[in-house]
Amino acid sequence: MNYAYIRVSTNYQTVQNQKIAIREYAKYHRIHNIIWVAETISGTKNPEKRKLGSLLSAANEGDTIIVTELSRLGRSMMMILDVLQLLLEKNVKVIAIKEGYELGDNIQSKVLAFAFGLSAEIERTLLSERTKQGLERARKMGKQIGRRPGQKPKKYKLTGKGAYIRRQRIEGRSKLSLAKEFGVTWVTLNKFMIKNKIQ
């Protein structure tokens, strides 16, 4: 399957520019039968809260996703890197027209997938350090820190649920639906599934 993903603002011109660029690219490279996925939502929202989350679930090995530029996938480097790493791990080809990237099932893309994962991990580490510093400042100011009583960390919400999730996936249930059931993000569920070799 060939997908074209467009994240748009309320600016009609922006929508048309993206569509024209993708159509011209597809025509030149003889890419046919494109499924268009468009949404008017901020790139700062997590992928699972956007149509992009459904697209990431639907895309399978051998599929292609075309975007005009990588920034359409998210507004933070970490978000974009996470999405790219996920797609490359699934052997989904990603085409970013503006940057001239064609990331797919080749050694260069595998190296980039590793680099994307490493970069995202570094970004998460830096973010964690900044968060800890902020929490320490808040503690010194006497503010209440920590989760509310009775709440479970997300990683524990999926513990022991592997068999159930596997059965549900075999029956055709979407990742987004399962993530909502367990009260975790799509990304958290997907990482759990990859770790436990669940399709």
Residue 126 and residue 32: Cα distance in Å, rounded? Answer: 42
Closest to 166 in 3D by CA, of 155, 178, 154: 178
Q: Is the Cα dihedral 171, 85, 195, 132 positive or negative?
A: negative
Cβ atoms within 10 Å, residue 59: 21
Q: Is 9 a catalytic residue?
A: yes
Q: What are phi and psi of 35, to 5 degrees?
A: -95, 120
**Catalytic annotation, pick one of 9, 42, 76, 177:** 9
Residue 31 and residue 62: Cα distance in Å, rounded? Answer: 13
- Give me the active site residues, please: 9
